[in-house]
Structures are given as C-alpha cells and as structure tokens.
C-alpha cells in the first residue's frame, strides 16, 4: 500500500469573537488556505484530486457543502471537487484521515484536507437551535434518550465530570490555562508561528478594516496571571471550570496537502512528514470528552509505540481537565504537550482545529528536529481521532 505524506501545512492566525476575521465569509476564508497550500507546494492547482474540508456548524454561510464553495472561491479550477465533513471538533482531523486513506488506496494522488469555522458569524450549535426554533426538532432521538437517559449531552457537564473523576482542583485547571497563555506568548514572541500562518487581510464584522494583515493569534493574554484567571466566574455553581479554563471561541481556517509517492513525483516536492498511524474511537457520550485517553492507548498499541517514543503531542485544550486527565492516564511528559500553547490561548475554531493542530505539530517537530508527533482531540458524541506523524 502507498504511503501518505504531508507536503504543505498552513493556518490563519486565530481571530477572537467579533475580531479581525469576523468580517470574512467562511467560504472565502477557507479559500485563502486552499490558495496558500497550492502556492507553498508550487504546483499546478489542477493536480488536486479532491478537497475534504471539516466544518461543524453547517448552516447559513457554512451550509450547502462549504468545501465545494471554498473551491469555487479559490484559484483551484472548477474541475476540483470538494466534500464537507462533520466529526464535531475533530472534523478536519478526520478530513486528514480521509485524505490520507484516499492517497494510500491509490485512487487519488493529491488531496487537500482542510477546515474552517467562522464562529463569530455562525454561532456554535446554531444548526440544532435554529431547527428547534422552527419546529424541526433536535438531534437527540427517543431511542437515544431511552438508552442513555439524557435529553441532551453537555460538554460542560462532561468536563466537570472529568475534573471530579481525575481529582483535579480549580488551582490545577487555572495553572494549566496560565501555562497555555505563557507558551503561546513565548512562541509568538520567538516567531515560531510565522512559517505556519497565512497572512490575511483584517476584516471585521462591522465592515471596518485598517488595511493591515492579520498575522498573530488574537486570543493570547500576554498579561495573564493566576489571580486574573482565578477571578473569572465559574461556569456552573459548585463547579471548577471557568471561561478562562475553556477553549476560546475563534474564527479561523487551516489545511494540509496530502500526497502519495506519485503525488510527490508529480509535484516535485519533498515531504514534511509521513502519516504513521490514524484511527478513531467512540466512547461514553455522556462524559463525552474522555475519549482521547482510550483512543491514544489503542493507537499506540496499534502503531507499536510507547508514549515515551512520541516527541511532541497536541491534545486539544477544549477544557483544562481534558489534557490534564490525558497526561495522568498516559503517564505522559507535560513538557512535550502543546509546547506552543493550545486552544485556551490560541482559540478553538471547531471544524478548523484538526488541521490547525496538525499544522502547528508539524512545524514544531521541524523546529525541534524531533521524529514522532501525536495529535488527538475530544469530539461531540464521545469520540476521538488520533494521528501519529513522522517528520521526514
């Protein structure tokens, strides 16, 4: 079977809610990434066989197959198709898996895996909420209610459950959030994100723009302290999680170009990394966010690796307890986790986060000249994707 190689990886800098990217239509924002990947590969855009694009809230501006619409807004020829993927927060990580599977099968040679989410313009959960408002009902069916005893599944209660299960205190959650901001600030000051970020014009929702380019993640709190984080109100009475220890609402797009050996020859490029392992696992939908733990344990077994063999890991910071519980369960090294900060500081643009994290992971592996990187993230419905890449 052919191998899957990543030859280009790019992302926009994260935009805060109603911030510098809030004026971008998500289709057009995603197109900037498609164009950048083609440019970075120095290739004929007609060589792209498909675009697989993750997006969670597929309604309004993100409806009607946002992947195909992004192709139409880009420099890619209309002969390039596109399909949209929803595996909740892991949507574009799953897009990467689908792209890798396509080129490994030999049915395609060059596939772009990408993601986009304009959370300022298309609020989280609006697809379900708008449907309920207009009498079309919600996603939880009678049989699901009968099986699990829940009329809805909450990531917030799931995060609190993990906090209690793993004995995490609010002080630990706050300290983790502070470290996310510290690492992200340090990485930005050291220009470690420069090569992965695609500069795009500032476009705000009110139509204003000062002619500048958006090149730095807006969510980083350079002046964050334990006191400032600890002063943020808890999300629920008696809980331990606050908005400061949860991922930030974020606008953004990201993507990677995936090829096989024929694709490498056709493009005439050198690979950045090889996809060493990819898998996905379902877990308890009630606790929901714990799935990265068993998914990673199984992935390591299947790959014939130990956690000590992995040089860097990206575990999405949906909430502080998710990576903290993962570290404890895997007996992993905190110094290798999210070395440039995570979603608490950099934002979590839902459908774009999968290839966003992969972009950061690949560039960090290159900067540190490490070999193996592992990425995983919790997903709605109690799922988790795991991807292990080898830097080449």
- Known catalytic residues are 89, 348, 378
15-16 vs 250-259, strand pairing mode: antiparallel
Handedness of CA 50, 95, 153, 283 (dihedral sign): positive
What per-residue string of b and e applies to 128-152 under the rule 16 or more CB within 10 Å gives b? beeeeeeeeeeeeeeeeeeeeeeee
What letter would DSSP give residue 211? S
CA-based end-to-end distance of the chain: 19
Residues 303 and 365: beta-carbon distance below 8 Å = no
Q: Rounded to an integer, what distance in angstroms lies between the CA atom of residue 351 and that of residue 332? A: 27
**In the chain, how many H helices and how many E strands?**
13, 12
Radius of gyration of the chain (CA): 20
Going by C-alpha positions, the residue among 122, 123, 124 that lies closest to residue 156 is 124
Where do runs of H (alpha helix) occur along the chain? 26-41, 66-73, 91-105, 126-133, 142-148, 155-165, 170-189, 226-230, 261-267, 292-303, 321-330, 343-346, 353-368
């Amino acid at each position: 079977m052919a191998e899957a190689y990543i030859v280009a990886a790019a992302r926009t800098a994260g935009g805060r809610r109603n911030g510098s990217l809030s004026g971008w239509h998500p289709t057009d924002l995603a197109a900037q990434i498609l164009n950048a990947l083609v440019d970075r590969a120095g290739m004929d855009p007609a060589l792209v066989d498909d675009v697989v694009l993750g997006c969670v809230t597929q309604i309004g501006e993100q409806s009607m197959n946002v992947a195909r619409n992004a192709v139409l807004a880009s420099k890619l020829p209309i002969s390039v198709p596109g399909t949209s993927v929803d595996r909740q927060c892991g949507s574009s990580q799953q897009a990467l898996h689908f792209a890798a599977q396509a080129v490994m099968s030999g049915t395609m040679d060059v596939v772009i895996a990408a993601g986009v989410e304009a959370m300022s313009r298309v609020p989280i959960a609006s697809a379900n909420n708008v449907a309920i408002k207009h009498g079309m009902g919600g996603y939880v069916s009678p049989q699901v209610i009968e099986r699990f005893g829940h009329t809805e599944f909450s990531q917030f209660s799931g995060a609190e459950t993990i906090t209690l299960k793993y004995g995490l205190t609010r002080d630990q959650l706050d300290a983790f959030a502070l470290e996310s901001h510290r690492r992200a600030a340090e990485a930005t000051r050291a220009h470690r994100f420069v090569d992965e970020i695609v500069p795009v014009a500032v476009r705000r929702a009110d139509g204003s723009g000062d002619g500048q380019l958006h090149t730095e993640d807006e969510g980083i709190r350079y002046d964050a302290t334990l006191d400032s984080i600890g002063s943020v109100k808890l999300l629920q009475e008696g809980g331990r999680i606050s908005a400061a220890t949860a991922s930030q609402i974020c606008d953004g797009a990201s993507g990677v170009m995936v090829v096989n050996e024929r694709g490498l020859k056709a493009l005439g490029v050198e690979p950045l990394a090889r996809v060493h392992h990819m898998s996905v696992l379902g877990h308890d939908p009630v606790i929901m966010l714990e799935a990265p733990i068993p998914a990673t344990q199984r992935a390591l077994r299947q790959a014939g690796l130990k956690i000590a063999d992995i040089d860097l890991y990206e575990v999405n910071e949906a909430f502080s307890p998710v990576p903290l519980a993962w570290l404890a369960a895997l007996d992993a090294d905190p110094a290798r986790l999210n070395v440039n900060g995570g979603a608490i500081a950099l934002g979590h643009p839902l459908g774009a986060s999968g290839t966003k994290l992969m972009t950061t992971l690949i560039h960090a592996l290159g900067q540190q000249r490490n070999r193996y990187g592992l990425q995983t993230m919790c997903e709605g419905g109690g799922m988790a994707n795991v991807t292990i890449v080898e830097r080449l």
